[in-house]
Amino acid sequence: MSDTSKPLFPRLNEHNYKRWRGDMTAFLMTKQVWGLVSGKDKPPATTETMFIAWRNSNWSAAGHIYAALEDSQKIHVSGMETDSVGMWAKLKEVHQQKVPGTRFNAYD
């Protein structure tokens, strides 16, 4: 994870979550940490060395996510700067609209 390249897309702000989420997912995939952020790769319980590698990937992912936020969005993840999974979930909770699907619109 020594590559320090930055994302080539706009940082998350109040209006671009859907686009940012797609771009950030792709970026994290190129950094080989998406499995961790998405929750599919769990911390290994086998050896300390494997756990440290997982933890370092988690911190790398968290750093990439945090660096891709406008200052106004950093408040949402305050206190969880080393938890990429928690940061991703919190940003989704804050930005993803929870509206009834089209099947409920038929009742209107």
pTM above 0.85, yes or no: no
As a whole number of angstroms, the distance between CA 49 and CA 44 comes to 10
**Mind listing the pLDDT tens digit for each residue in 13-41?**
999 999 999 999 999 999 999 999 999 99
Q: What is the mean pLDDT of residues 47-64?
A: 94
71-75, Cβ contacts within 8 angstroms, sequence gap of 24 or more? 72/13, 72/14, 73/11, 73/12, 73/13, 73/14
* 54 — pLDDT class (breaks 50, 70, 90): very high
7 touches 64 (CB < 8 A): yes
From its phi and psi, is residue 100 left (phi > 0), alpha (psi between -120 and 50) or beta? Answer: beta
Domains of the chain by residue range: 16-97
CA 94 to chain centre: 13
